[in-house]
Amino acid sequence: MRTKILITGLMMLLAVISWGQEKISLNKIDYGNSQYIFTESTLIAECDLEGNKNGNNERAPINAIFVISGNKDDNYIIKFLKWKENKNNISNNLKYYYKQINQNRNAHNEKVVQEFNLLTGKANDKISNIRNNDNESAETIEIIETYFLLSKIDLLTAASTYTPIPKYEFVFGTIGYLVRIRPATSGFSSNWSTDLNLGIAYGAKVNFNKNWGISALGGLSLSKIKIDSLSTSPSINKSIEKVTLSPTVNVLLNYKNFFVGLGVGYDWLNLDTEESKRWIYNRKPFYALGIGINLFSSNNGKEPTPTNGNN
């Protein structure tokens, strides 16, 4: 029993330790497509699309998603994804996604603009050239999209790769059973077992959100069983231990990488001895309380909840 408690504790610890963001690889940057997220506070500066700095340094918003549009020297030109267009996000969108056109209209002659409503927080769908747009009012302003400059070292230390959590994914991991219940059979009463059991499992998972989900997994494990007078027919007058192969089907709830739930399976014992042939639970179903950790999934992203990009 102590061994099982130790293994359970190690599995829970591994589930917590393995939860983290994927670091950025500069060789894998897909400009304009790959998404990243700020996980720590760092400095950025407003710039144009060519990377020419035209604003003061300011703090990047933590948990905000961005894409990389290009690079200049040891800096990267980034663009944030839009915050949801509503009254609560007006300041974020006007600070990090759009910028208001200044009075020097000639500086923006080749840019396209939208009208941004200061009451609703929405930009209209009509895009026009600034030279022909003089419709600014007290409720609307003319805006263009904006970019920021981020140093390479800050990109590597303050951000991570962002992969949206999918609704469905395939998972692979380890599974063990805290207790197994064998129903009554052949005139023998039901049996509770806490014998050591550890194996692998693979299947599909439905994500409720970034932390919680439910999985249907097929498993295959090795189990240590005890054969004695209470589990044999005809009974034997000694107690021995054997190892069985145990196929299982499991339904598990998960929090992050830690899984717990119910399983059903059977023990497949090799009939190599007389004692094994007399074991009454061989290839009979059992029900179990299982725990597991996710070692691999078809989606490897483990991100915090983003503040933008959820339109």
Kindly list the averaged pLDDT for each block of 10 residues, start to end, along the chain of length 311. Answer: 48 44 83 93 94 92 95 95 93 92 54 82 66 60 93 95 84 92 84 85 90 94 90 90 94 93 94 89 93 76 70 50
Q: What's the confidence (pLDDT) of residue 18?
A: 44
Q: What's the confidence (pLDDT) of residue 112?
A: 64
Q: For the chain, how far is it from start to end, CA to CA, in angstroms? A: 51
Q: What's the confidence (pLDDT) of residue 57?
A: 93
Q: What's the confidence (pLDDT) of residue 130?
A: 45
Closest to 71 in 3D by CA, of 132, 161, 152, 11? 152
pTM of this structure: 0.55
Q: What's the confidence (pLDDT) of residue 23?
A: 78
Q: What's the confidence (pLDDT) of residue 195?
A: 79
Q: What's the confidence (pLDDT) of residue 149?
A: 97
Q: Locate 83 and state its tokens.
A: 């915050």
Q: What's the confidence (pLDDT) of residue 304?
A: 63
DSSP string for 234-281: S--SS-EEEEEEEEEEEEEEEETTEEEEEEEEE-B----SHHHHHBTT
Q: What's the confidence (pLDDT) of residue 126?
A: 55
Q: What's the confidence (pLDDT) of residue 135?
A: 52
Tell me the C-alpha distance between 116 and 129, whole Å. 15
